[in-house]
Each structure stands twice: as C-alpha cells, then as structure tokens.
Amino acid sequence: MCGLVGYIGQKSVSDVLVQLLERLEYRGYDSAGIALNENGKLILEKSQGLLVNLCNKIENKHFSATSGIGHTRWATHGKPNERNAHPHISENGQVALVHNGIIENYNKLKNELKDIKFISETDTEVVVQLLGKYITKKSDENHILQQIARVCEMIKGSYAFAIMVAHIPNKIFFAKKGSPLIIGCGKGENFLASDIPALLPFTNNIIYVKDGEMGEISAEQIKIFDFKLKQKNNIIKKINLSPEQVMLGNYSTFMEKEIAQGSYAMQNTLEHIIKDRTFYKIKKTKFQDLSMMSSNIHIVACGTALHAGMLAKYVLEKECRVGVSLDYASEFRYKKPLINKKSICIFISQSGETADTIASLELAKKCGAYCVAITNVITSRISSLADFVIPTYAGPEIAVASTKAYVAQITALYALIEFVAKLNNKKIKYNSNDIFGVVKTVENWSAKLLWHDLIKDICTKESIYFVGRGVDFYLVKEGALKLTEISYIHAEAFAGGELKHGSLALINEEAIVIVLLTQKDLIDKTLNAIAEIKTRGATVILISQFEYLKNCAQHFILLPKVKDILMPFVAIKPLQELAFLCAKEKNLNPDKPRNLAKSVTVE
C-alpha cells in the first residue's frame, strides 16, 4: 500500500511531485504529503484525504526547491489524518522520509529513542527518528549511507524508503526490502517511484531497485549499493508503455476504461502466450500425468484473483478430470498446507505485490512445490519468487476494482488448461482459436444501456443477491464483490442449489436477485431456483444468452451467444458494468472506493 515518489532535477519540484503522485493515487488516498529541500531546510506540506486537498493547500505557495519526496497513504498504523500523513521528519529537522511497507518491530525500536517526542502514531516515524539520531549536520554522504544501512539492518518488516537530509539538498537517498521501488532515469533529472505509471510522462528508462539495495540519486547520477555499501551496476530497462496507457483518454474513470479494455486484455494475453511460446519452458513433467497431478494442484490468491482461480478449478476438474484445491492466500499461509515436492502451486495476482499471496508462495517454495505465478506485473516480487511465470498482458490496471486483469487471468488460465489437456491427449471443449473468436463479441457488446432502467432501483437497496450454478456461481461471486467494493451495497452470491439451505430466508418482496444462467446443462436447475425466489415475491433480473427464457423473470438481460464453456468471458462484463453504474448513480468515485487500495502489501 501507499505510493512514494522522489524528484531531483531542474524543474519546480512541487509541480513534479504532484504529477508523480497523481498516477500513484490508486495505491492509497487517505492523505498525501511532500517534503522539499529549500536551501538546506526541510519543508513539509501534508493534507488529509485526496491529493487534490494537498494541491489546494500549496496552490499559492512558491517553492524554489528542485529536490523533494512525496507520498500518498493507505493507513495501516494510525488514523488517516494529517499528523500521520507522510513525509515524517526527525525531531531535529535533519531527516525527512516517506515509506511504503510495514515496520513490524517499531515498538521495540522506539525503546532506543526514549528521549524523543513522537508526533505521529505511525510505525514509520521510528525510522526517521533513528536516522535523525545517527545523522548529524556534519555527516557526509558516505556516513549517511552507512546510517541508512544500519537502520535497515535493525528493521523487521517491509519497506521502500525515500529519504532527504537537510544539509545535502542535491541528493535523495533510498532503500528497499519487500516493497516496490523504481528509479526513473532522465536527462539532468532523476526520479523515484513505487510504480511505473508515475514515471511514464517523464521517462521510459527505469531501474528496478532490488530487495536489500539502497543508494542515492542526484540530478546527474544514480548510485546503488547493497547494505554492505558495495556498489552495484545500474541496469537500465526501457519500458514499452506510453503515458496514454495510464491516462483516462475519453473516459471519466479508469474503471470504465478498464472494463472496456477487457477484450484487449484477452487478446493481448493470448497472443503473447502463443507468440512467446510461454509454456515452452514450463516443467512439462509436472503436468504430464493427470493421475499424478490430481490432488497435487493448488490454486492460491486473494479477492478477484481468487475468483479467477475458482473458475479455473471448475474448468480444470470438469475438462481434464484433475482434482484441484483452492485457498485464500490469507488462509493457506497459516494452515500447514498439504503440499510437497510433487505439488504444483498456482499463485494468481494482478499486482504481484499482495502480501498474503507472497507469503503463501514463500511457504510453498519451502515445502518444495513447483510454483507458477500468473501476474500482470512481470517485475513484481511474486514473479521473482516463482519457478515459472505466466504473464498476463492487461496493461496497467489503475482502478482499485480489478476488471480487465480478471479477464486476462481467466484467459491465461484457460490457455494453461488447454496446454495441460494437449500434453495429456485429452479432448476439451475449446481451443485458443475459440477464445480469439470471443474477443470481438466481448469488444462489441455492452450491457450499460440494458441496465439503464434498473440501476435506480438497485441503488435503493441495502442488499442485493446474486445466484448462479456451476461457472455462473463463480462469476456472480465476482459480480457481488465488484458491487460491494465500489457502490457499498451489500451484495452476496449464492449457489443456486443452496438457497433452500438457508439464504432463502432473506428473500422477500423487497429483494432484488440477479441470476446468471449461461450453461445449457444447468437451465432446469437454475429455473427451479428462480421459481423459489419469485414465489417469495422478489424481483429477479435474469442474465442469459438463452432468449427463450426471457419471460422466466421480471427483467431480462440478453447476452451474446458463444460456446457455453467460454461464456465467462462474456458474462463477466455486465456484472462489472452493473457495479460501475451503481457507483456512478450514487455519485461515488469507482476508482477510489473508501478504505481500499489497489495492492494489499500488508497482512
């Protein structure tokens, strides 16, 4: 969580920091702040809430500084207020710091600083106070680096730091372990950031700082060291992304743009898998014998990524007759999972940064399992830890609610299932060409207008229920999460056959139930569920490609028809659009839902 930035160059630093932070706001938006070095004095400006509040605060202030650091926060330790906002400054005013991550032993470290009056409730402040204690006005650059390394060695937890020292205005220092940090290399200027989107308008030349690395940037130079202060080579990579890819363009929100990009995410992911011969280097022996694979495949993820995993488990079991176990990463990491050297563990994560998923991967590796990562960020920690990476090519996903990344994840999973089937001479109901065939259907169709008359009603409800069977159950689970996440309407998904085992008690004349029905072999059973719901007087909105079922519910949304097994690619879109439209109707910003942030880098 949290986004951090740093700039050193010739430009007015406050403007640049704000521009950098704007593109990292998806990482947290509880508060924002900057620290500037004005002629050897560290100046802090902070504001509670969105970055726009900080912009308003500094609008008429004129700074001459050309170096500074900035932060946009998702609160973990301490309320989301101005006092707890980053940057933090040492009591003696010598050091300012921004942090992404968690300092687990901050209470213990505080004992070293009994004479210091702490201002905030954050875990971070202890780091800046320690640095303030060790770095004096006389410290040269080398001594400062030594003290940063010293403090890093004392810390338990994860961090990316950008650090400024008052009497060294021409340098910004940094250190990283466990949280993302990149350096943008410009001409006569250099940058620090948590993620690539921040830097794209300024430079495409990036250095990925690795765990256990630290260093300094000036306008002209970048120096990277390990914690023993041994200098490392600067490996600059050119990023093949344009600033437009992380801008709104003709859309008013990223979520709307990203839903529309679902078809692109499908096509791009599949094209890459084929062109890059992605499965060429996978350990084939692991996937060759279905009887061995059964009960040895584990899918682990969180949130939307887990919903993609649920769908894959269902399809893999149904098509390849392979047993798959599935876990929330937060559960897997603490349950002593039944895995060993024969196991294949598949970790799905858009960001590749999710703390629970990373911890689960580390655990699986310890147990000797073969770890496959499906991620949208090739340079992420999950990618670097996994034995094999299947990249998704959805492009940067900015909105907190994951949409196009989900579509890319199920594309990669379907491709993996096809590969497993081929390897085992198993005939399945689709191939990659069929998936390519669905791309245009997804691109050209939208349910936005079809929802039009229903949205107002839905938004009056405190709870909305979803029902589905088979793959449709996993899709409505994702639909319910999306609706909850951005419109704050309580939404729950039920397996059609389970209604009468309890949840039917919730259904009355007031209830709206959204039923998804895309599988021919489950029509009769799902119609039973609809009948049970209607009998209780509830309103049913049926979403289906079977037009003849139109009159089975009070409202009907007709889906375009593709092979049943590929219907998830189509059916997810109206569910994502429903969530988006409800957020809009309620005047909520779907890109920045309350209390949430894009990547959950803490437990």
Q: Which is nearer to ligand AGP, 375 or 519 (CB)?
A: 375
Contacting positions for ligand AGP (CB under 6 A): 302-305, 349-351, 354, 357, 400-402, 485, 599-600
Q: How far is the CB of 257 from ligand AGP (least distance, A)?
A: 15
Q: Which is nearer to ligand AGP, 189 or 485 (CB)?
A: 485
Return the C-alpha torsion angle 288, 292, 295, 299, nearest 10.
-30
Contact 571, 518 (CB under 8 A): yes
User: CA distances (Å), 205 to each of 5, 21, 86, 119, in order?
Assistant: 16, 18, 27, 38
Q: Which is nearer to ligand AGP, 84 or 349 (CB)?
A: 349
Contact 220, 213 (CB under 8 A): no
Q: How many CB atoms lie within 10 A of CB 535?
A: 10
Tell me which residue of 397, 450, 403, 417 sits closest to 560, measured CA to CA.
450
Class of residue 437 by CB neighbours under 10 A (exposed 0-12, middle 13-18, buried 19+): middle
d(CA 566, CA 585): 31
d(CA 270, CA 50): 37
Two tokens at 221? 């130079």
What are the b/e assignments for 94-116, b being 16+ CB within 10 Å? bbbbbbbbbbeebeebbeebeeb
Q: Which is nearer to ligand AGP, 344 or 486 (CB)?
A: 486
All residues at 6 or more sequence positions from 480 whose CB lies less than 8 Å from its CB, including other chains: 464, 466, 491, 492, 493
Q: How far is the CB of 179 from ligand AGP (least distance, A)?
A: 14
d(CA 146, CA 403): 44
Peptide bond into 87 cis (omega under 30): yes
Q: How far is the CB of 601 from ligand AGP (least distance, A)?
A: 9
2 is catalytic: yes
DSSP type of residue 26: G
Q: How far is the CB of 406 from ligand AGP (least distance, A)?
A: 8
Q: Which is nearer to ligand AGP, 542 or 575 (CB)?
A: 575
Phi/psi for 67 (5° steps) reads -140, 140
Q: Which is nearer to ligand AGP, 172 or 405 (CB)?
A: 405
Q: Which is nearer to ligand AGP, 300 or 435 (CB)?
A: 300
Q: How far is the CB of 347 from ligand AGP (least distance, A)?
A: 9
Q: How far is the CB of 304 from ligand AGP (least distance, A)?
A: 3
429 is catalytic: no
d(CA 454, CA 491): 16
Say which of 257, 313, 404, 598 is annotated catalytic: 598
d(CA 358, CA 252): 33
Q: How far is the CB of 374 from ligand AGP (least distance, A)?
A: 9
Contact 202, 25 (CB under 8 A): no
Q: Which is nearer to ligand AGP, 293 or 480 (CB)?
A: 480
Q: How far is the CB of 409 from ligand AGP (least distance, A)?
A: 8
Q: How far is the CB of 308 from ligand AGP (least distance, A)?
A: 9
User: CA distances (Å), 590 to each of 207, 251, 269, in order?
Assistant: 32, 12, 25
Q: Which is nearer to ligand AGP, 18 or 600 (CB)?
A: 600
**Residue facing ligand AGP at closest CB distance:** 303
All residues at 6 or more sequence positions from 548 whose CB lies less than 8 Å from its CB, including other chains: none
Q: Which residues are catalytic?
A: 2, 598
